[in-house]
Amino acid sequence: MCLAVPGRILSIEGTDALLRSGRVDFSGVVKDVNLAFVPDAAIGDYVLVHVGLALQVIDEAEARQVFEYLTMMGEVGELVEVKS
Amino acid sequence: MRFVDEYRDPDAALAYARQLERLVTRDWTLMEVCGGQTHAIVKFGIDELLPKQVTLVHGPGCPVCVTPVEILEKAMAIASHPEVIFCSFGDMLRVPGQSRDLLAVKAAGGDVRIVYSPLDAVRLAAENPGREVVFLAVGFETTAPANAMAVAQAARADLGNFSMLVSHVLVPPALQAILAFPDNRVDAFLAAGHVCTVMGFTEYEDVARRHHVPIVVTGFEPLDLLMGVTMCVRQLEEGRAEVENQYARAVRRDGNQSAQAMIREVFEVVPRKWRGLGEIPASGLGLRPAYARFDAEGALRRGRPDRGGVERVPQRRGATRRAQAHRVRGVRCRLHARAAAGRDDGLRRGGVRGLPALSPPPRG
Ligand code: SF4
């Protein structure tokens, strides 16, 4: 129910606070999405979309924390080992 | 898909499993609050990767499961009316009321439509001025901005034929209710990521402090969940009880302010009944008086349209919490259908995994 999916903004239309919308690409599937709640979102940004409305811009810098946390706990050596 | 695939890396998942193995020194019980997380945990076999000391229990689930029978009965009574186009998210169609579900109403000729977004329902109302469009507005905080936006757009367009049957629920009061059970055995919570995308997590800081319970805001991909579990276990082992944010790529501490402003504009906090849990004070959202004209119940009471006997819907008076929980046994949710594989779904499933909330609170 609380499913939200990341997609990339292709275009933005409308300046009206309620109706600001855009075309968002979900790896190939393009949909119209209401962008009223992400007033700072720009073309090229990834947004998290839930039932047709964008809820947040995905923070690219924070997106790596899942891997950084492992590094911090000293797992990186083993990660590389496993991969090689 | 970007921001999805990289969080399913099996090597990193195994690295997390090893870390956990190293960290854990005793038994811990963690509750994942959100049904969507339960789904991912089962689908990706996350629980099988965890050390045996770590037990995951399924939380209050999701708005689909906890929507009370009374609301479903009202929904079906409204949907049976010939003038009504009844719109709902797909997952609500199979949830049983007393004896039937919305799908049965549809089969019997009711105009029941699945919409992807509440904004689609508003569009339908604009396109069908001669019909009454009613949207079943269920959801946690994640869905509240969308439903509030639908009302705001309908108000802006001055649509007289759009209304909502609202049964919105809030997560923090449910957490508090679980923590207040005398036999509660949850040591830490994975808070629902997308709820926090909207609301932020300042509300939980007080809960964590007061109940001395770690709360980690967690995402929905396998690595998110494993990292969330690891952060919880680390806090528990170190004796800390803080709110931490595992899902920082999508969650800011204060959430999404403009979404919250929209929720506050349209909705107010009300007491709400949870199927299987009973009534919890201040645990839901209802339309503000200023938007009462968009309340489907009010619209029907005013006789718009002629209300095919909504009031005659029998209420399950006196049903004990336990009995209500049992009724949920039949719920087969399409979203979790696979996750449930061969088992009863919903709260019953939670019961199987030891959901403490299922035991009725002691009397007197
Ligand atoms: S089983 Fe269905 S209704 Fe229950 S938590 Fe999962 S998605 Fe929600």
Domain harbouring A15, CATH code: 2.30.30.140
What is the arithmetic mean of pLDDT over B76-88?
A: 94
Taking only the tens place, the pLDDT of each residue in B126-167 is 999 999 999 999 999 999 999 999 999 999 999 999 999 999
Taking only the tens place, the pLDDT of each residue in B19-65 is 999 999 999 999 998 888 988 898 898 989 999 999 998 887 678 87
Q: Which residues of B touch A59 (CB under 8 A)?
A: 248-250
- Confidence check: pLDDT of B287 > 90: yes
Residue A83 falls within a domain, yes or no?
A: no
Residue A30 falls within a domain, yes or no?
A: yes
Number of A–B residue contacts, CB under 8 Å: 141
Reading the block at residue B178, the tokens are 């679980």
- pTM reported for the whole predicted model: 0.82
Kindly identify which residue of chain B lies nearest to residue A3, measuring between CA atoms: B36
Residue A67 falls within a domain, yes or no?
A: yes
Rounded to whole angstroms, the Cα distance separating B138 from B143 reads 8
pLDDT of residue A14: 86
Q: Complex ipTM, two decimals?
A: 0.86
Which amino acid is located at A76 in the chain?
V
Number of separate domains in chain A: 1
Q: Is the Cβ pair A62, B249 closer than 8 Å? A: yes
Taking only the tens place, the pLDDT of each residue in A65-78 is 988 898 888 755 55
Confidence of residue B94 (pLDDT cuts 50, 70, 90): confident
* Residue A33 C-alpha, separation from nearest chain B C-alpha, in angstroms: 10
* Sole residue written with tokens 């009574």: B77
Residue A82 falls within a domain, yes or no?
A: no
Rounded to whole angstroms, the Cα distance separating B111 from B68 reads 22
pLDDT of residue A76: 52
pLDDT of residue A18: 87
Q: Which domain holds residue A14?
A: 5-77
Count CA atoms closer than 13 A to B187's CA, side-chain side: 19
pLDDT of residue A44: 96
| Chain B, window 139-178: residues with a beta carbon less than 8 angstroms from a chain A beta carbon | 139-140, 142-143, 145-146, 149, 152-153, 156
Confidence of residue B301 (pLDDT cuts 50, 70, 90): low
What is the arithmetic mean of pLDDT over B263-291?
A: 91
Residue nearest ligand 1's atom 8 by CA: B62
Count CA atoms closer than 13 A to B60's CA, side-chain side: 27
Atom of ligand 1 nearest to the CA of B334: 2
Name the average pLDDT for chain B.
Answer: 82
Residue nearest ligand 1's atom 2 by CA: B333
User: How far away, in angstroms, is B36 Cα from ligand 1 center?
Assistant: 8
Residue A50 falls within a domain, yes or no?
A: yes
Residue A84 falls within a domain, yes or no?
A: no
Residue A57 falls within a domain, yes or no?
A: yes
Could you write out the DSSP letters of every residue in B286-346?
EE-GGGGGGBHHHHHHTTSS--TTGGGSPP-TT--HHHHHHHGGG---STTHHHHTTS--H
* Mutational pocket test of ligand 1: of B39, B58, B65, the residue with most ligand atoms within 8 Å of the beta carbon: B65
